Structure 1
Amino acid sequence: MNKSKCQSCNKNIAILNCVTCSLILCYFCDEKLHSDKENHITTTLPFASQHPTQQNQSHLNQTIQQKRLELQELKDKEQKIAKIYQEKMLHAQKKYEQQINSLEERLQSASQFMNQMQDQVEEIDVDKMQNELEGLDKSLKLDIKKAEQEQSILQEKSKNADQLISKLQKATEIEQKQILKMNEVLAVFKACSEQLQKEKDLLMLDNEKLVGEVEIFAKFMAENGPLLEEIGRVKNEQQQQQQQQQQS
C-alpha cells in the first residue's frame, strides 16, 4: 500500500501526482494549490494493496471527483452568500446615509427656524405685548365676572324650575288620585247600572207575564162574556128574591 507523505504539508498521505509541479500531494493540498490552476495535470497515485483491482482505482477516482464537486458547490454557495451579504451591507449603508442626510436637513431647517424665531423675538415690542396682556387680563376678568353672574341667574332659574317641577309632580299626584277616585265611582256606577239593568230585565219579564195574563183574561172575557152576564143577572134576581122574602 502507498504510504508516501504529501510533499506540501508532509502530514497526510499523498494520493495525487502533479506532473506540472512535479509534486505528490494529498487531497487538501491539491485543492489549495490548484484551485486557480486548472491547466495543471494531475494523476492518481497507484495503491499497492494485497489485491489491487481496477474497480478500486475507479471507485477512488469517483470519490475524489465527487469531493471536488462538493467542494466547488460549497465555494459557489460561499460566493453567493458573500455577494448577498455585500448587497445587504450596501443597501443598509445607503439607507443609513439617507437617514443621516434627512436628519441633517431637519437639523438645518430647525436651526433656520430658530434663527428666524430669534429675529422675530428681537423685533417684538415687549411693552406693547405687556399692555396687550394686561388688557386681555382685564377683559378676561370681566368675562369671568359676567359668567359668574349668568351662572348665579341660571342657578336661580334652575331653582325656580325645580320648584315648578315639584309643584307639577304634586299636582300630577293629586290628579292621579282623583282619577283613581273617578275610576272607583265609575266602577260603582257600572255595578249599579248592571244591577238596574238586571232589575229592568226582571220587570220586563213580569210585564210580559202580566200582558200575557191580561190577554188571556181578555180572551176569556171575549169568549165567556154573555155567559157571565147571564150568571150575573141570575145572581141579581136571586138576591132580589131573597130580599123580598126577608121583607115579607
Structure 2
Amino acid sequence: MNNPKCQSCFKFIAIVLCKECNIHICFKCDENIHQDKNDNHYRTTISFQTKSTQQPENDNQMEIIKQKKKQLQELKDKESQLTKYYQDKMIQAKKKYEQQISALENRLQQAQQFMNEIGQDNGELDVDNMQNELENLEKSLKTEIKIAEEEQKKLDEKTLKVDTLLDRVKKATDIEQQQISKMNEVIQIFKACSEQLQKEKDLLMLDNEKLIGEVEIFAKFFDENGPLMEELNAQKNNEQQ
C-alpha cells in the first residue's frame, strides 16, 4: 500500500482527510479528534493505492534482451566478415597454387621440346653439357614441386582452422539464441504472474473500498442516531435497576 501513515498516532494507515485540520488520520484518531457531536469539520476518506514496481522490472528485462540481441548481431557480423576474409585468402592461395602448377607444366613442355630438338640435331652433341642441363632442370622441377606441395599443405591447415573457428562461432551463436529464447519465456511467465498479482490487488482494493464505505455508513448512522441510542441504553439500564 502507498497510503500515508496517520499524522496523529503515526502507527496506522490514514484513511480520513480532514480539510479543516489539514491532516491525514486513521479512523480511531478521527473519533478522538472529532468526538464533539457539534463538530462540523468536512472529512473525506482516502482511497487505497498500490505501488507498482512491475514496469521498471519489465523495462529492465527488455533492456537485457535488447543488449543480448545486439551482441548476437555483432557476433553474426564478425562471423560473416571472418568467413569472407578466409574465403578470399583461400581463393588467393588456390590461384597461386594453380599458377605454380602451370609454371611447372611449362617447364616440362620446354624440357620435352629440348629433348625433341636434341633428337633432330644431326651435328656433334655436347653430352656433358646436355646432362648438366637435364640435371639442373630436374632439380629445379623437384624444388618447385616441393614448394607447391608445402603451399598446398599450409592451405589445407588454414582451411581446417577456418572450419573449426566457424563451427565454434556457430555453436556460440546457437547458445546465445537459446538463452534469448529462454529469457523471453521467463519474461512471458513473469508478465502473466504480474497480471495475476495486479488482479488480486485490484480485488483487494475493491474489498477495502467496500469496507471503508461500510465504516462510513456506520459512522454516519452513529452520528445521526447516537443520542437516541444513548437514551435507549440509559432507559434499559434504568429498567434493569
**Superposition TM-score tier, normalisation by shorter sequence:** 0.3 to 0.5
- In the superposition, the TM-score normalised over structure 1's length comes to 0.37
Higher relative contact order (CA 8 A, sep 6+): 2
**Largest Rg, 1 or 2:** 1
